[in-house]
Amino acid sequence: MKAELISIGDELLIGQTINTNAAWLGMELSLRGISVSRCTVISDDKQAIIATIDRAMNEADLIIVTGGLGPTKDDITKVVLCEYFNSKLVMNSSVLERITRYFEDRGRQMLDVNIQQAALPENCTVLENIVGTASGMWFEKDGSVLISMPGVPFEMKSIMKEQVFDRLKERFHVKSIYHETILLQGIGESFLADRMKDWENRIREEGLSLAYLPSVGSLKLRITSSRGEVDQSVIENYFQELEKQLPQYVYGRGEESLSEVVGKLLLQNGKTVGTVESCTGGTLASAFVSVSGSSDYYQGSFLTYSNELKQKLVQVSSTNLKKNGAVSREVVEEMAINGRKNLSVDFCISTSGIAGPNGGTDEKPVGTVWIAIASSKGVYSHRFLFGNNRERNILMTVLSALNLLRCQLLGITDKN
Amino acid sequence: MKAELISIGDELLIGQTINTNAAWLGMELSLRGISVSRCTVISDDKQAIIATIDRAMNEADLIIVTGGLGPTKDDITKVVLCEYFNSKLVMNSSVLERITRYFEDRGRQMLDVNIQQAALPENCTVLENIVGTASGMWFEKDGSVLISMPGVPFEMKSIMKEQVFDRLKERFHVKSIYHETILLQGIGESFLADRMKDWENRIREEGLSLAYLPSVGSLKLRITSSRGEVDQSVIENYFQELEKQLPQYVYGRGEESLSEVVGKLLLQNGKTVGTVESCTGGTLASAFVSVSGSSDYYQGSFLTYSNELKQKLVQVSSTNLKKNGAVSREVVEEMAINGRKNLSVDFCISTSGIAGPNGGTDEKPVGTVWIAIASSKGVYSHRFLFGNNRERNILMTVLSALNLLRCQLLGITDKN
């Protein structure tokens, strides 16, 4: 079975938008046993669209097209597809109803261009978009399937999950590949590979494949079996082995976020948490709050970006600031201890560091970060040295802080 | 002149790597007047490479190929190109010298596969790679140019900058394309298109092209001229017209972020800002702090996620909370006014809303958000109704809050 992706949009060709849709689709399809053999990016141009689609329809069984379904004049995909598949646009009353509701719910005025989004080719299967106004379309011709989707990533993903993946399974009967993912924080790819050499070799010898999927501050490992679900328990055993050996790094499975994992632990233990942030500037708080229901354990935060506010809001002494500087064990511990009192929480995490790109010294280079956690048992603090990139340093700090709290909640003390 | 990009690599097709190379090349080439009409991603497969290159050589004047030049077995681009261009590999002594030095400098052992990287097709112009071991190659055939580059982004970029851009200018004498971008917040694509119909028609009649590039909570408009820089002032006039008509939405140009724009305005006015966040949970603070140098105007924040902390940290009265609820004009205004005092800042922004997906009522559905700004002139507040998606609601709130502050700083009061 051959699958192709076609991404339509000038913004992709001139590099104003990076084609994350193609990466997501490639990943999701390959996990479902459908491998993509080609991905083509073209502009919102009728001739280019028709030529590319026509070639793909002759060569592939499945073509997924993204982009060009918006309400404005430069979005021409729907009209071009309608012509290519010898169809005509007809007003779809249930789609129109949904679009009307979409605007009503948001208290926004519906315009004629929005109404026109409910006009869809007569001979396609309409794929409902429950998060936006551009519907997906499923065409069939000469044994090939062409699916057209909006280019807005979260709309495209929603339609794929809700409307497409099951239909593809039914239509193409692909043998599904089985895979599981385990999540780690605080350990690098090559360090892990070196430490778990034997484990990795055994996995490969068993005919399974192991992929390292690193992202900033965390690492996913995916084990894939082409034999299918029969290998579920084998994979699970490998994961448990890893978890047992490296409990300080392994935090979850699948698609869980570290914030969710920590949130669940706090709920289970009936504990509350708050934060006092300096270098992370609210990003640690927002990681907690990103989880729905977090108000059950997350109470709030002081963001003491300036030294004055460190003194005023969490009573860091001026002597401490003068003697040790804002980025120090002493200051970060005082922030956590007093923050815990002022916020009336069980755990209080504080951060202070030099996120960069400027502000480093020989003694405290850019990337130096202190994290402290105060609890009823006292205060624990740890120094990290990240890199030169501001955004990455902030994210690494947030993930490290969450993982330190996870280890405390689970009583994992070994941080090697 | 037609240009195409071809990216080679299985990791791109299965989505393990996002194709940032194509975006970078598209951007850099378009800025130099070379527009990319197609980008194709294929796997490290001989047949696919030859078929794609052959079609591209017939259709385009310039083809830039990235990927598949590494030292391992799955990297076959060089050998395939050598065959396609009827050439043979010959050892290039100056490249070999450089690779040898590369390994010596790093104290690493040079393997035979590394030596083989110095064997290059006889009929290509070698493009020196000063940051890695895979050389670029420039082929010419039947009037078309094909450039092959390593897939590692920083190596590719280095070769493009050092070896390719000047050569392209000389070879193709391209007239440069000119484009400018203007940035808006708080207005949807279709609403803008409807409101600025006449403006848009005039742009198109003038032979310029207009593209809408929407993302969550903000909108980019790009005007492109194929006549080049000569249209700079024409485009600028259109932008100024838009700015004059919709000053409450237009916040910047080019690649500026709204946080940067607001930061600059605060600096210019010598004003400080702080935040009191509930539903945004630190994301508003982190938007301020994401800008390097923000400590000059951004002081800090209270994150009062719980009602208790709203009372304790920013003295919202329990009567107010009981009578109006946490998501109300009265509470959000009290948060801003008292936050301003407690943080000793000129402007204090507060947020309170129902980010979802749960917690909505008939009166206050999910997506209801109140934002207030307190300043020396008093307090201003505004109610928004966003959608059902938590992450999007938080982002929309942050951008709306920044834009409200921008309007206050500029004295823009009309918010239609």
Which residues in chain A are contacts of B30 at CB distance < 8 A?
13-15
ipTM over 0.90: no
The pair of structure tokens assigned to B282 is 């630190």
The arithmetic mean of pLDDT across residues B96-101, rounded, is 94
Q: What is the pLDDT of residue B213?
A: 82
The arithmetic mean of pLDDT across residues B32-53, rounded, is 94
CA dist list (Å): A58 to A52, A168, B42, B59: 10, 19, 17, 19
Question: Among B7, B13, B37, which Cα is nearest to A64's?
Answer: B13
Angstrom distance (rounded) from CA A303 to CA A300: 10
Q: Is the CB of A23 inside 8 Å of chain B's CB atoms?
A: yes
The answer to whether residues B185 and B228 touch, using CB atoms and an 8 Å cutoff, is no
Q: What is the pLDDT of residue B416?
A: 42
Q: Is the CB of A348 inside 8 Å of chain B's CB atoms?
A: no
The arithmetic mean of pLDDT across residues B365-380, rounded, is 96
3-class SS of residue A365: coil
Q: What is the pLDDT of residue A109?
A: 86
Which residues in chain A are contacts of B25 at CB distance < 8 A?
15
Angstrom distance (rounded) from CA B313 to CA A313: 9
DSSP string, A398-412: HHHHHHHHHHHHHT-
Angstrom distance (rounded) from CA A91 to CA A270: 54
Q: What is the pLDDT of residue B293?
A: 86
pLDDT tens digit sequence for B127-183: 999 888 999 999 999 999 999 999 989 899 999 999 999 999 999 988 767 889 999
Element housing B232 (H / E):
helix B232-245
The answer to whether residues A388 and A367 touch, using CB atoms and an 8 Å cutoff, is yes
**pLDDT of B255 higher than 90:** no
Angle between helices B329-343 and B307-314 (to 10 degrees): 40
Angstrom distance (rounded) from CA A46 to CA A80: 6
Q: What is the pLDDT of residue A69?
A: 94
Residue of A38, A211, A293 lying closest to B40 (CB–CB): A38
Interchain contact, A10 vs B305, CB within 8 Å: no
Residue type (1 letter), A66: T
Rounded to the nearest angstrom, the minimum Cα separation between A305 and chain B is 5
Angstrom distance (rounded) from CA B395 to CA B401: 10
Angle between helices A307-314 and B329-343 (to 10 degrees): 110
Q: Is the CB of A283 inside 8 Å of chain B's CB atoms?
A: yes
Residue B87's pLDDT band, with cuts at 50, 70 and 90, is very high
Distance of CA A141 to the CA centre of its chain: 35
Angstrom distance (rounded) from CA B285 to CA B45: 48
Tell me how many degrees the CA angle B220-B223-B227 measures, rounded to the nearest 5.
160
Q: Is the CB of A26 inside 8 Å of chain B's CB atoms?
A: yes
Which residues in chain A are contacts of B390 at CB distance < 8 A?
290, 292
Interchain contact, B283 vs A286, CB within 8 Å: yes
Pairing type for strands A144-149 and A136-141 reads antiparallel
Q: How much of chain B exceeds pLDDT 70, in percent?
A: 99
Q: Taking the CA of residue B244 as centre, how many other CA atoms within 13 Å lie in the half-sphere pointing to its CB?
A: 7
pLDDT tens digit sequence for B293-314: 898 999 999 999 889 999 999 9
Which residues in chain B are contacts of A38 at CB distance < 8 A?
13, 40-42, 48, 52
Angstrom distance (rounded) from CA A223 to CA B266: 51
Residue of A300, A309, A390 lying closest to B343 (CB–CB): A309
Residue B40's pLDDT band, with cuts at 50, 70 and 90, is very high
| ω into B357 cis (within 30 of 0) | yes
Residue B414's pLDDT band, with cuts at 50, 70 and 90, is low
3-class SS of residue A19: coil
Residue of A72, A293, A304 lying closest to B190 (CB–CB): A72
Interchain contact, B212 vs A275, CB within 8 Å: no
Q: Is the CB of B17 inside 8 Å of chain A's CB atoms?
A: yes
The answer to whether residues A120 and A90 touch, using CB atoms and an 8 Å cutoff, is yes
Q: Which of residues 132-151 of B touch A (CB under 8 A)?
A: none
Interchain contact, B280 vs A286, CB within 8 Å: yes
Q: Is the CB of A183 inside 8 Å of chain B's CB atoms?
A: no
DSSP string, B76-108: -HHHHHHHHTT--EEE-HHHHHHHHHHHHHTT-
Q: Is the CB of A177 inside 8 Å of chain B's CB atoms?
A: no
Spell out, as residue ranges, where chain A has pLDDT lower than 70: 414-416
Phi-psi bin for A344: left (phi > 0), alpha (psi -120 to 50), beta?
Answer: left
What is the dihedral sign for C-alpha A98, A99, A102, A106? negative
Phi-psi bin for A152: left (phi > 0), alpha (psi -120 to 50), beta?
Answer: beta
Neighbours of A189 (CB within 10 A): 13
Q: Is the CB of B259 inside 8 Å of chain A's CB atoms?
A: no
The answer to whether residues B371 and B350 touch, using CB atoms and an 8 Å cutoff, is yes
What phi and psi values does residue B206 have, to the nearest 5 degrees?
A: -80, 0
Which residues in chain B are contacts of A343 at CB distance < 8 A?
309
Angstrom distance (rounded) from CA B225 to CA B176: 9
Cα nearest neighbour of B209 on chain A: A74
pLDDT tens digit sequence for A267-307: 999 999 999 999 999 999 999 998 988 989 999 999 998 89
The answer to whether residues A1 and A34 touch, using CB atoms and an 8 Å cutoff, is yes
Cα nearest neighbour of A214 on chain B: B16
The arithmetic mean of pLDDT across residues B194-200, rounded, is 94
Q: Is the CB of B308 inside 8 Å of chain A's CB atoms?
A: yes
Cα nearest neighbour of A398 on chain B: B286
Cα nearest neighbour of A274 on chain B: B303
Cα nearest neighbour of A13 on chain B: B26
Q: What is the 3-class SS of B136-189, one letter each residue?
A: EEEEEECCEEEEEECCCHHHHHHHHHHHHHHHHHHHHCCCCCEEEEEEEECCCH
Residue of A40, A112, A285 lying closest to B282 (CB–CB): A285
- Tell which wins on pLDDT, A270 or B211: A270
Q: Is the CB of A69 inside 8 Å of chain B's CB atoms?
A: no
Q: What is the pLDDT of residue B71?
A: 81
The answer to whether residues A241 and A298 touch, using CB atoms and an 8 Å cutoff, is no
Pairing type for strands B36-42 and A218-225 reads unpaired
Phi-psi bin for A122: left (phi > 0), alpha (psi -120 to 50), beta?
Answer: alpha
Q: Is the CB of A284 inside 8 Å of chain B's CB atoms?
A: yes
Interchain contact, A24 vs B37, CB within 8 Å: no
Rounded to the nearest angstrom, the minimum Cα separation between A16 and chain B is 7
Residue type (1 letter), A174: V
The answer to whether residues A336 and A278 touch, using CB atoms and an 8 Å cutoff, is no
Q: What is the pLDDT of residue A336?
A: 98
Interchain contact, A43 vs B30, CB within 8 Å: no
Residue of B23, B38, B193 lying closest to A18 (CB–CB): B23
Element housing A80 (H / E):
helix A77-84
The answer to whether residues B100 and B92 touch, using CB atoms and an 8 Å cutoff, is no
**How many beta-carbon pairs under 8 angstroms link A with B?**
271
Rounded to the nearest angstrom, the minimum Cα separation between B40 and chain A is 4
Q: Is the CB of A412 inside 8 Å of chain B's CB atoms?
A: no
Interchain contact, B282 vs A292, CB within 8 Å: no
Interchain contact, A39 vs B40, CB within 8 Å: yes
Which of A305, A314, A391 to probe by mutation at the B interface, max B CB count within 10 Å? A305
What is the dihedral sign for C-alpha B114, B119, B121, B125? positive
**pLDDT of B96 higher than 70:** yes
